[in-house]
Chain A
Amino acid sequence: MTNPNGRFGIHGGQYIPETLMNAVIELEEAYNKYKNDPDFNKELETLFNEYAGRPSRLYYAEKMTRDLGGARIYLKREDLNHTGAHKINNVLGQALLAKKMGKTRLIAETGAGQHGVATATAAALMGMECVVFMGEEDTKRQALNVYRMKLLGASVVPVKTGTATLKDAVSEAMREWTSRIDDTHYCLGSVMGPHPFPTIVRDFQAVISKEIKSQLLEKEGRLPDAVIACVGGGSNAIGSFYHFIEDPKVRLIGCEAAGRGVDTFETAATIATGRLGIFHGMKSYFCQDSDGQIAPVYSISAGLDYPGVGPEHAYLHDTGRAEYVPVTDDEAVEAFEYLAKTEGIIAAIESSHAVAYARKLAPTLEKDKIIVITISGRGDKDCAAIARYRGEDISE
């Protein structure tokens, strides 16, 4: 899917300071060397299976299926991975790669804290130093994850610039990388940023769709009719889509965070409201004003609260291969509660965006159709925020 310059159609590229160019070239060379190396892949597979608990379950949600009265619904349970989200797939891959490259220090950005926790976990496991940049706003919203990262031996730097959320954490991690490259790998958490990150992260997350495919073939003897996942930067979505891209009959549906609605300014639905731009190392769609200033986006979900989308998603949107739909805070919170009550699964508020759209789609499809929803993470971290949303103040 990637051409040599890291382009997905017109999207992607390497729009970064000259200071970082040799670092991304070095990373690309190392990745090309190791990605087909049997020893590297064996080591990674062992980490995936023995440490992260893969393969994750593909669970038939019978009650939900019956309740919605349409397509059969399967849940891809990335929430059951070690550290509670799909983020660990990418992090184990990148940390192993960084180690092979002789790096001794990992830096990362985080929004909700899931990627930060995953990076801190891999760093602890592999004996590497770890620094996580997190918007000051998010350190308050996700205090528990800050504590988890510190417990794992990482230092957490609260980012006070800009809107003090995910995009500012990315900017600050990039600034840090330009000041210390020799021993440091920037463990980017999504399919975004400069080439080769969108490709590397996608490849490490593609294990999700690889497993869905074989698990569903085993259970149903066929491919799904639709795969639904939430999209912030888009790593769990591209991971869920990747091995189905060449199967045109499988609908690929990405659910963006619409916040208070795509007709308001309080939204993070990039494909619905953004336009083409260049930011954080890539050409893609971004929420921005008429002068190209990046918009201060909003979503109840700290993990989807990002003004851009990965370049491969932008390309899948351009070509029509994938559909992108906005889901509001209200719909996501309702889905969060619905899945808890219906299936006894507390999904992350991010993943609940995908559940919300599936609730709309499933009843419109015949009973012999199959939908797979990726539950990208667990929702324990969100309970306090959802309670607040419902007007209840609980202390953690």
Chain B
Amino acid sequence: MNRIASAFENKKAFIAFITCGDPDLETTAKVVREAAKNGADLIELGIPFSDPTAEGPVIQGANLRALSGGVKTDMIFDLVKDLRKEVTIPMVFMTYANVVFSYGAEKFIGKCSEAGIDGLILPDLPFEEKDEFAPICKKYDVSLISLIAPTSAGRIAMIAKEAEGFIYIVSSLGVTGMRSEIKTDLDSIVKVVRENTKVPCAIGFGISKPEQAAKAAGVSDGAIVGSAIIKIIEQYGRDAAPHVGEYVKSMKDAIRAV
């Protein structure tokens, strides 16, 4: 069984998103370790991009802070190698197509595999364009994660059938960020996913509170949280790790109760 599958094995997964290098890589390393220690089942590591078109203001801010801190893609590969000495839960990269393309897809994905990265989420790579990277991902056993949106009507089965790792269900229209409520009919989306694949699915976008996480995990196989964690890092900066740990624990506890 690959590492991503283990995150969903006999449990609902709590997935934490962290932008690498916000505010610096030492902090990122500490935050990842704390998140893992406090029950995160999978970590999404964001590689910052200058123009993150799918992100709301909170994660845009994290991208900006990381890039102004001088983070480079190679430094992030080193960070992952270092983390892998003790972190055993699956880790995936979340970035934009140009970061991978510009580095050289083969070189980038090869290094992912070597460093211990299990998957790749590229929000600007829809089903129609996945052949850009999918064959190389397959070659290096890195799962190319598919996304399904509230506007994916008529496309869910097609996407689910070819999905790998896990499916990222986008809960709401718009960009990443915290929302007071999620109105999308997630049950029917998950139903079509389940009819077409055994790959687990988790819900992200707009989840910040334990009850929202529990609800999302109740409908699907897990909950993904980004902006709420970034907000804590934004507030506490280099001292953020214990605060993130505490938050992850509260979210994971809520999911465990599902």
Contact = CB atoms under 8 A, between A and B. Distances in A.
Contacts of B175: 175, 178-179
A288 B148 contact: no
Interface string B99-117: 1111100000000000000
Interface in A145-182: 161-162, 167-168, 171, 174-175, 178-181
Contacts of B170: 17-19
Contacts of B127: 18, 21
B99 A21 contact: no
Contacts of A292: 49, 73, 98-103
Interface stretch (A40-48, A247-255, A278-286): A278-286
B24 interface: no
Contacts of A291: 72-73, 99, 102-103
Contact of A293 (B50, B101, B123): B50
A5 interface: yes
A15 B98 CA distance: 10
B181 interface: no
B53 interface: yes
Contact of B126 (A21, A162, A277, A286): A21
Contacts of B128: 5, 13-14, 21
Contact of A18 (B49, B132, B147): B147
Contacts of B149: 17-19, 21
A345 interface: no
A278 B51 CA distance: 12
Contacts of A3: none
Interface in B26-85: 49-51, 53-54, 56-57, 60, 67, 72-73
Contacts of B147: 17-18
Nearest to B67: A293
B53 A280 contact: yes
A17 B128 CA distance: 11
Given A15-B129, A19-B173, A181 B151 contact: yes
A16 B124 contact: yes
B97 A178 contact: no
B154 A22 contact: yes
Interface string B188-207: 00000000000000000000
B83 to A, nearest CB: 20
Interface string A282-321: 0000101011111000000000000000000000000000
B51 A15 contact: no
A133 to B, nearest CB: 12
A140 B7 CA distance: 50
Contacts of A276: 101
B136 interface: no
Contacts of A161: 57, 60
B174 interface: yes
A245 interface: no
Nearest to B153: A22
A357 to B, nearest CB: 30
B125 interface: yes
Nearest to B108: A292
Contacts of A18: 123, 126-127, 147-149, 151-152, 155, 159, 170
Nearest to B76: A291
B210 interface: no
Contacts of A325: none
Interface string A25-55: 0000000000000000000000000000000
A23 interface: yes
B150 interface: yes
A21 B155 contact: yes
A322 to B, nearest CB: 24
A274 B224 CA distance: 36
A294 B51 contact: yes
A279 B50 CA distance: 11
Given A179-B173, A277-B101, A292-B98, A17 B53 contact: yes
A180 B150 CA distance: 12
Interface in B143-169: 147-155, 159
A18 B169 CA distance: 10
A59 to B, nearest CB: 40
B151 A281 contact: no
A279 B51 contact: yes
B103 A180 contact: no
Contact of A178 (B126, B129, B159, B173): B173
A396 to B, nearest CB: 31
Contacts of A15: 97, 124-126, 129
A262 to B, nearest CB: 20
Contacts of A16: 124, 126
B229 to A, nearest CB: 21
Contacts of B67: 293
A294 B53 contact: no
Nearest to A22: B151
Contacts of A181: 151, 173
Nearest to B174: A179
A5 B131 CA distance: 13
27 contacts: A14-B128, A15-B97, A15-B124, A15-B126, A16-B126, A17-B53, A18-B148, A18-B151, A18-B159, A19-B174, A21-B155, A161-B57, A162-B50, A162-B51, A167-B51, A171-B51, A179-B175, A181-B173, A276-B101, A278-B96, A278-B97, A279-B51, A281-B124, A291-B99, A292-B49, A292-B103, A293-B50
Interface of B: 49-51, 53-54, 56-57, 60, 67, 72-73, 96-103, 123-129, 132, 147-155, 159, 170, 173-175
Given A19-B150, A180-B173, 14 more contacts: A14-B126, A15-B97, A17-B54, A18-B123, A18-B151, A19-B151, A19-B173, A21-B127, A21-B155, A162-B50, A175-B174, A178-B54, A292-B73, A292-B98
Closest 7 CB pairs of A and B: A292-B102, A179-B174, A19-B149, A293-B50, A278-B97, A292-B98, A18-B149
